Homo-oligomer: A and B are copies of this chain.
Amino acid sequence: MDSKRYTIQDIAREAKVGVGTVSRVLNNDPNVKEATRLKVKQVIKRLGYQPSFTARSLRTQKSQTIGFIADNVATTPFAVNLIKGAQDAARRHGKLLLIVDAGNDPQLRERALKSMLEREVEGIVYAAMFHQEVVLSAEFRSVPTVLVDCYTRDKSHPSSVPDEVQGGKDATEELIKNKHKRIAIILNSELSSPHPAAKGRYQGYCEALEEANIELDPKLVRTGDGDSALSFKITLELMSLAKPPTAIFCCTDRMAMGTYDALKSLGLSIPQDVSIIGFDNQEVIAEQLHPPLSTMALPHEKMGRWSIDYLLDKSQTSTEQHVFPCPLIKRASIKDLGA
């Protein structure tokens, strides 16, 4: 398969210079005579020499790699955006990513951490697949670590999370801007659950209503489970209210699927009869739904990018939580009642 690998010694001998000079050429050290540099470069090219990263790392004590531990990539399609963002940023910095899926198993996570420490990664990004609290072993303190889409109770590591409140508020405001006043919300989990998503989005919903002087009707706030089936049922109930909503804010695109279904089964059309806004911007759903669903996007790619940039920015040492806005993706599921 591969012919013999050349070393810096081979190049030095072939170019009739010292190894130091070759190294200098490799590293673009300015203290090399132009003629010499050329000569060396030619030999390098001719032999197709590839420097050994391993040897370099050993000597310089820099691995140029960053560990990326993901909580459970296979469960959600969001993982890819996170990885893509991190990946892009890493490339810009000339680093490579060592990715491992710890599959939500704390033991696997520790093992992953261990093999990364062995490889002397320059830092670690720990990414959860949905906004949640995590507890990390003390070992994570032995290397710079940043958290994505999660946080530790004691705020021991810098973290990045989506701005659920702003997302919920903007979603609701979009509906209000289109002159909706009876706006239902289907939450994605119990308000009492430990996950910040439902709580934050609901808070945003309340704030938006309040600022618009719309009274909150408790009949219009329902709690689902994130899936379409329950949302279907809830939507049916919502529409059989004496004063049904003109718009529904589904805290999950998956739930919006159920809502679409329920509305259509009632012979109602979207958005003529009822407007819908989702949350998550899960492309497969939002784009394929008929009509395409307006929804709030989760800033996964941005958070992934940020995590690497932040990790490599030596000047940063705080462990604060960075909050990323969720942008509105307008499609066609909202009708302007004022028009």
Residues of chain A at the chain B interface (Cβ within 8 Å)? 1-2, 50-55, 57-58, 63, 65, 73-74, 76-77, 79-81, 83-84, 87, 91, 96-101, 103, 108, 111, 114-120, 141-144, 227-229, 232, 254, 257-258, 261, 264-265, 282, 284-285, 287-290, 301
Contacts and interface: CB of A to CB of B under 8 A. Distances in A.
What DSSP secondary structure best describes chain A's contact surface?
helix
Nearest to A292: B229
A312 to B, nearest CB: 14
Nearest to A116: B96
A119 B84 contact: no
A116 B98 CA distance: 12
Contact of A257 (B108, B258, B289, B301): B289
B80 A84 contact: no
A26 to B, nearest CB: 11
Nearest to A52: B120
A57 B119 CA distance: 10
Contact of A285 (B114, B118, B285): B285
Contacts of A80: 73-74, 76-77, 79-80
Contact of A98 (B52, B54, B97): B97
A118 B50 contact: yes
Contacts of A144: 1
Given A1-B144, A96-B100, A261 B258 contact: no
A58 B84 CA distance: 30
A83 B101 contact: yes
B261 A118 contact: no
11 contacts: A2-B143, A52-B58, A54-B54, A73-B84, A97-B100, A98-B99, A228-B288, A228-B290, A229-B288, A284-B284, A285-B285
A257 to B, nearest CB: 5
A97 B96 CA distance: 11
Given A142-B2, A288-B228, A117 B50 contact: yes
Contacts of A143: 1-2
B63 A54 contact: yes
A141 B48 CA distance: 14
A97 B57 CA distance: 18
A52 B227 contact: no
Contact of A54 (B116, B120, B261): B120
Contacts of A120: 52-54
A98 B98 contact: yes
A118 B1 contact: no
Contacts of A79: 80
